[in-house]
């Protein structure tokens, strides 16, 4: 049959790197086609070329057998191409419905768009409120907005860049049902993911990129995770090393924290109690939007409304302290949003160190640029970040490489307490294994680590204990050995024993 999409000789070079080199790709109607590669392999650049957001230096493209030159996303949408970006293209000051309306036919009224959002949310289990301001949404909820916007365009070619990176297992299952329905109706799907089991379960074809070049085409249903890893990164990721660590004193303790939401779409925190000891990795699981954002703001010091003694770090009440004051006590924090909160897009990697580290600030506030560059270079080398050196702007890095740098920045600061949200969001299997290994190594050195993640496999891999967050409440503490996907999934609906998650559970 005539391919829905055919690329030939696609090449795109930037000053520091060749993102795509002579790439060929063929996608058939109704095919779910994976594009696999490590961070910086050129996947996102290739998808942006197809969508018209990036102009190639060379090569040709055909849609349904017709040569096309797509100059911008508007022309792509007119051809029936829709894309869900890894870094969201949404406006914080607008509502969910207004954000989705921007990408649709303007003959539709906002009220009609809102009605369609509700219908689509119910059909595909996306749980969206059309009138809710975007700035009140967590990263998982924003992912749903992007997906809903693409589905409402009724695409003939749908590009998904890491669509499940912050979705729960139940939401992933719903999304897969949706994608199979779309493919059965003739829609072609280009699917980028670093989760190899997803690719093997969902996709019927796979093109592998390494260093911007196509290195293989396969049927992922005939491959194993190990063989796909070898195709992608040339090796299998190293196994995680769990070490028996003698737990030290409690480093983080939250005592009966209740806090009213700051906006009408937020989540009230209700009687939250937890503890993390030195040498321990504790995880918090749950569906995005159940109070994780509010809890993290309170723990990091971005929200100082809590009573001083409700949040304690190393025995000191810090509820009223700002983030800088908490860092003096050894608390470092990795937020879920890479660009905007974790890093300033336009600043260099070296200057982004100043967000959380002050050891390169000399007398009178003068910056010691040589020290900054040396520190950034050390992080780049240690975490194998693909970047044009310490002077590269944060915005120039792929999502996975920026994530490695931000996590590396906080780990390299040798914290007493590390709080990290979505630590391996959008990173390849090799980088994910490296980040998880570094977290375990950090805990082995005596650091207390709290991980908030919507990826259960990740929490099961690295955590000693788990909590589950639902409707602004925290479940009892659950040892990793007793945690199962079924049990944690049940608790995500708030269905745990009617016992408060008090200090007795926290000390388990």
Same domain? 383 vs 427: no
Band the pLDDT of 504: cuts 50, 70, 90: very low
Residue 365's pLDDT is: 82
What pLDDT, on a 0 to 100 scale, did the predictor assign at position 295? 96
Spatial neighbors of 248 by CB under 8 A, at least 6 apart, are: 277, 278, 279, 446
Confidence of residue 506 (pLDDT cuts 50, 70, 90): very low
Hey, is 366 helix, strand or coil? coil
- Summary mean pLDDT of the chain: 88
**Of 353, 387, 414, which residue constitutes the final position of a domain?**
414
Kindly state whether residue 93 falls inside one of the protein's structural domains: yes
Among 18-22, 64-68, 227-231, 243-247, the least confident range: 243-247
**Mean pLDDT, residues 124-145 taken together:** 83
Q: What is the mean pLDDT of residues 128-132?
A: 91
What single-letter DSSP state applies at residue 342?
T
For 398-441, how does the pLDDT look when each residue is reduced to its tens digit (9 = 90+)?
A: 878 899 999 999 999 999 999 999 998 877 778 888 899 999 99
Residues 112 and 29 in one domain: yes
Local structure of residue 321 (DSSP, 8 states): -
Residue 139 pLDDT greater than 80, yes or no: no
For residues 117-150, one letter each, b for 16 or more C-beta atoms within 10 angstroms of the residue's C-beta and e for the rest, the string is: beebbeebebbbbbebbbebbbbbbbbbbbbbbb
Angle made by CA atoms 104, 94, 83, in degrees to the nearest 5 = 40
* Pair (219, 267) in one structural domain: no
pTM (two decimals)? 0.71
Report how far residue 459's alpha carbon sits from residue 348's, in angstroms, rounded to the nearest whole number. 32
What's the CATH number where 292 sits?
3.40.50.300
In this prediction, residue 498 carries a pLDDT of 46
Q: According to the model, what pLDDT value does residue 499 have?
A: 44
- Shared domain for 11 and 136, answered yes or no, is yes
Say if 371 falls within a structural domain. Answer: yes
Domain boundaries, position 18: 5-233
Based on the fold, state whether residues 402 and 503 are members of the same structural domain.
Answer: no
Evaluate whether 303 touches 297 at the Cβ level (below 8 Å). Answer: yes
With vertex at residue 357, the alpha carbon angle to CA 354 and CA 362, rounded to the nearest 5 degrees, is 80
Q: Which region among 78-92, 345-359, 490-504 has the lowest average model confidence (pLDDT)?
A: 490-504
pLDDT at site 508: 36
pLDDT at 501 over 50: no
Residue-level pLDDT at 425 = 80
* DSSP per-residue codes, 417-473: EEEEESTTTT--HHHHHHHHHHHHHHHHTT-EEEEE-S-HHHHHHH-SEEEEEETTE
**The pLDDT of residue 347:** 94
Q: How many of the other CB atoms lie within 10 Å of CB of 229?
A: 21
Most confident by average pLDDT, 114-123, 234-243, 254-263: 254-263
Describe the strand order of the beta sheet including 311-313 as a list of residue ranges. 269-277, 250-259, 311-313, 316-317
Angle (CA) 49-51-52 rounded to 5° is 65
Residue 383 within any structural domain of the chain: yes
Is residue 246 one of the residues assigned to a domain?
yes
For the stretch 271-288, pLDDT in tens is 999 999 999 999 999 887
Question: Does residue 253 share a domain with residue 173?
Answer: no
Are residues 381 and 279 part of one domain? no
- Rounded Cα gap, residues 306 and 507, in angstroms: 22
**Residue 166 pLDDT:** 62
3-state SS, residue 164: coil
Mind listing the pLDDT tens digit for each residue in 171-213? 778 788 888 988 998 999 999 988 888 899 999 999 999 889 9
- Structural domain ending residue among the three candidates 371, 396, 414: 414
User: Which own/partner contact pairs does 39-42 have at CB distance under 8 Å and 24+ positions apart?
Assistant: 39/386, 39/398, 39/399, 39/400, 39/401, 39/404, 39/427, 39/428, 39/431, 40/386, 40/397, 40/398, 40/400, 40/401, 41/209, 41/210, 41/211, 41/212, 41/232, 42/12, 42/209, 42/211, 42/212
Inform me whether the pLDDT recorded for 502 exceeds 70.
Answer: no
Distance of CA 442 to the CA centre of its chain: 21
Owner of token pair 């906006």: 263
pLDDT of residue 53: 92
Query: What is residue 95's three-state secondary structure?
Result: strand
HEC assignment per residue over 26-91: EECCCCEEEEECCCCCCHHHHHHHHHCCCCCCEEEEEECCEEECCCCHHHHHHCCEEEECCCCCCC
The pLDDT score that the predictor gives to residue 108 is 85
Which region among 251-255, 300-304, 382-386 has the lowest average model confidence (pLDDT)?
Answer: 382-386
233 pLDDT exceeds 80? no
The residue among 166, 200, 233 that closes a domain is 233
Question: Does 171 fall in a domain?
Answer: yes
Pairing of strands 188-192, 32-36: parallel
Number of domains comprising the chain: 3
Q: Higher confidence at residue 222 or residue 231?
A: 222
Per DSSP, the three-state class of 216 is strand
In a domain? residue 320: yes
In terms of residues, how long is the chain?
508
121 pLDDT higher than 90: no
Residues 293 and 439 in one domain: yes
- Considering the domain architecture, whether residues 159 and 28 belong to the same structural domain is answered as yes
Instruction: Assess whether 353 and 387 both reside in one domain.
Output: yes
Task: Please check whether residues 54 and 159 belong to one and the same domain.
Answer: yes
**335 lies in some domain:** no
Q: Which of 239-243, 272-276, 380-384, 436-440 reaches the highest mean pLDDT?
A: 272-276
With a pLDDT cut of 70, the percent of the chain lying above it is: 95
Residue 461 maps to a domain: yes
Tokens representing 228? 């796909």
Domain match, 216 and 161 both: yes
Count Cβ neighbours within 10 Å for each residue of 337-355 and write b for 16 or more, e otherwise: bbbebbbbeeebbbbbbeb
Q: How would residue 168 be classed by pLDDT, with cut points 50, 70 and 90?
A: low
């Amino acid at each position: 049959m005539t391919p829905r999409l055919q690329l030939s000789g696609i090449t795109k070079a930037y000053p520091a790197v060749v993102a795509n080199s002579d790439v060929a790709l063929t996608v058939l109607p109704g095919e779910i086609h994976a594009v696999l590669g490590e961070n910086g392999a050129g996947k996102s650049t290739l998808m942006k070329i197809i969508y018209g957001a990036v102009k190639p230096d060379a090569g040709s493209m055909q849609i349904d057998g017709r040569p096309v030159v797509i100059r911008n996303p508007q022309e792509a949408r007119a051809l029936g191409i829709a894309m869900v970006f890894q870094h969201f293209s949404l406006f914080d000051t607008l509502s969910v419905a207004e954000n989705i309306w921007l990408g649709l036919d303007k003959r539709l009224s906002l009220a009609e768009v809102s009605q369609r959002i509700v219908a689509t949310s119910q059909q595909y289990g996306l749980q969206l409120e059309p009138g809710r301001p975007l700035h009140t949404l967590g990263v998982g909820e924003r992912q749903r907005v992007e997906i809903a916007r693409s589905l409402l365009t009724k695409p003939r070619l749908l590009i998904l860049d890491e669509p499940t990176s912050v979705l729960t297992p139940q939401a992933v299952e719903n999304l897969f049902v949706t994608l199979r329905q779309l493919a059965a109706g003739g829609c072609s799907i280009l699917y980028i993911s670093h989760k190899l089991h997803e690719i093997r379960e969902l996709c019927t074809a796979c093109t592998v990129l390494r260093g911007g070049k196509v290195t293989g085409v396969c049927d992922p249903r005939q491959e194993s995770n190990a063989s796909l890893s070898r195709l992608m990164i040339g090796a299998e990721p190293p196994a995680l090393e769990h070490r028996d660590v003698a737990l030290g004193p409690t480093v983080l303790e939250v005592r009966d924290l209740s806090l009213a939401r700051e906006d009408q779409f937020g989540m009230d925190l209700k009687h939250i109690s937890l503890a993390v000891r030195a040498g321990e990795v504790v995880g918090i699981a749950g569906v995005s939007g159940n109070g994780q954002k509010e809890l993290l703001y309170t723990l990091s010091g971005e929200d100082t409304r809590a009573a001083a003694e409700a949040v304690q770090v190393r025995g000191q009440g810090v509820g009223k302290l700002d983030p800088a004051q908490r860092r003096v006590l050894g608390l470092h924090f990795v937020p879920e949003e890479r660009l905007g909160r974790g890093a300033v897009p336009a600043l260099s990697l070296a200057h982004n160190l100043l967000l959380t580290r002050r050891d390169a600030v000399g007398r009178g506030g003068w910056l010691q640029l040589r020290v900054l560059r040396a520190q950034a270079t050390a992080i780049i080398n240690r975490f194998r970040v693909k970047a044009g050196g310490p002077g590269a702007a944060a915005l120039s890095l792929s999502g996975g490489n920026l994530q490695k740098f931000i996590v590396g920045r906080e780990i390299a600061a040798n914290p007493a307490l590390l709080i990290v949200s979505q630590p391996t969001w959008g990173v390849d299997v090799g980088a994910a294994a490296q980040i998880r290994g570094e977290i375990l190594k950090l805990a082995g050195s005596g650091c207390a680590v709290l991980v908030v993640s919507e990826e259960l496999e990740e929490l099961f891999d690295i955590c000693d204990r788990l909590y589950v967050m639902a409707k602004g409440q925290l479940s009892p503490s659950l040892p990793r050995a007793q945690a199962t996907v079924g049990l944690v999934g049940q608790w995500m609906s708030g269905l745990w024993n009617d016992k408060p998650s008090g200090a007795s559970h926290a000390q388990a």
